[in-house]
């Protein structure tokens, strides 16, 4: 019987083989064991679970696989072994993080971390919006002042402003106002938001 770590397990009965294979395959579906030490720990857990399966089967029938009945003292030994193996199984499952409480905690921590991350991102986005609003107000006042100066100026004064024609004002809006406004968003995307994308 091949184990998760690539070893071999010797079992006593076909029923144990079926139990072992089902348990091994179920763990492979439900969990991921990439570290070699985890795979060896899973080997040990599976052997313990087979031993528990064997003891429970013996206790339920009162005899072994050959049909030989157990003496009362032997049944007591099996019950003691059942308790000890149960403790070892719980310990092994705890080491691998397979207990329900550990899975629930991991899921809770993951959800909590996600919500915390969302709060941080929302705050950063809010700060970005405030910067955009502040910069937009500055640029709008600068735009109003520039348009007003263009309208009140004569040709010589407009030449000093380097805004001789209405087209020059439009070009100034495109090349300066628009660029300055978008710079806030570009900085946000290049810094805070790139970490968000990397985490997704």
Q: How confident is the model at residue 197 (pLDDT cuts 50, 70, 90)?
A: very low
Q: Is pLDDT at 198 greater than 50 in this prediction?
A: no
Tokens of 147: 């348009």
CA distance 179 to 175: 6
- Residue 2 structure tokens: 């091949």
Q: What is the pLDDT of residue 82?
A: 95
Residue 22's pLDDT band, with cuts at 50, 70 and 90, is: very high
CA separation (Å) from 74 to 11, 42, 55? 21, 29, 11
Best CA proximity match to 60, nearest among 49, 48, 69, 73: 69
CB atoms closer than 10 angstroms to residue 125: 14
- Distance (Å) of CA 89 to CA 25, 98, 99, 102: 18, 11, 10, 15
Mean pLDDT is highest, among 80-84, 160-164, 172-176, for: 80-84
Please give the Cα distance from 76 to 13 (Å, whole number).
22
**Stretch 170-195: mean pLDDT:** 74
Averaged pLDDT, 168-175: 86
Better pLDDT: 90 or 8: 90
Which range, of 45-49, 101-105, 164-168, averages the lowest pLDDT? 101-105
Interatomic CA distance for residues 149 and 143, integer angstroms: 10
CB neighbour class for 14 (10 Å; exposed up to 12, middle 13-18, buried from 19): exposed
Average pLDDT of the chain, as a whole number: 81
Residue 109: band (very low, low, confident or very high) from pLDDT cuts 50, 70, 90: low
pLDDT surpasses 50 at 45: yes
Query: Helix, strand or coil for residue 21?
Result: helix
pLDDT for position 193: 53
CA distance 97 to 95: 6
% of the chain with per-residue pLDDT over 70: 82
Helical H segments across the chain, by residue range: 14-30, 36-61, 72-96, 100-152, 155-161, 166-172, 178-190, 192-199
Query: Is the pLDDT score of 191 beyond 80?
Result: no
Structure confidence by residue, pLDDT tens digits, 49-72: 999 999 999 999 999 999 999 999
């Amino acid at each position: 019987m091949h184990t998760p770590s690539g070893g071999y397990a010797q079992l006593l009965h076909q029923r144990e083989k079926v139990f072992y294979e089902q348990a091994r395959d179920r763990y492979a579906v439900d969990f991921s064991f990439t570290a070699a030490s985890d795979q060896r720990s899973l080997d040990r857990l599976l052997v313990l679970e087979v031993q528990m399966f064997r003891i429970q089967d013996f206790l339920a029938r009162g005899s072994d696989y050959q049909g030989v009945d157990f003496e009362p003292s032997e049944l007591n030994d099996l019950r003691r072994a059942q308790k000890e193996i149960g403790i070892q199984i719980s310990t092994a499952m705890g080491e691998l993080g397979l207990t329900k409480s550990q899975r629930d905690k991991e899921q809770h921590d993951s959800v909590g971390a996600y919500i915390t991350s969302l709060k941080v991102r929302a705050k950063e986005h809010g700060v970005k919006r405030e910067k955009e609003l502040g910069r937009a107000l500055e640029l709008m006042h600068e735009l109003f002042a520039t348009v007003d100066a263009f309208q009140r100026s004569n040709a010589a004064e407009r030449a000093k402003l380097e805004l001789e024609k209405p087209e020059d004002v439009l070009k100034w809006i495109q090349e300066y106002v628009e660029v300055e406004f978008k710079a806030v968003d570009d900085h946000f995307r290049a810094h805070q938001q790139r970490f968000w994308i990397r985490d997704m």
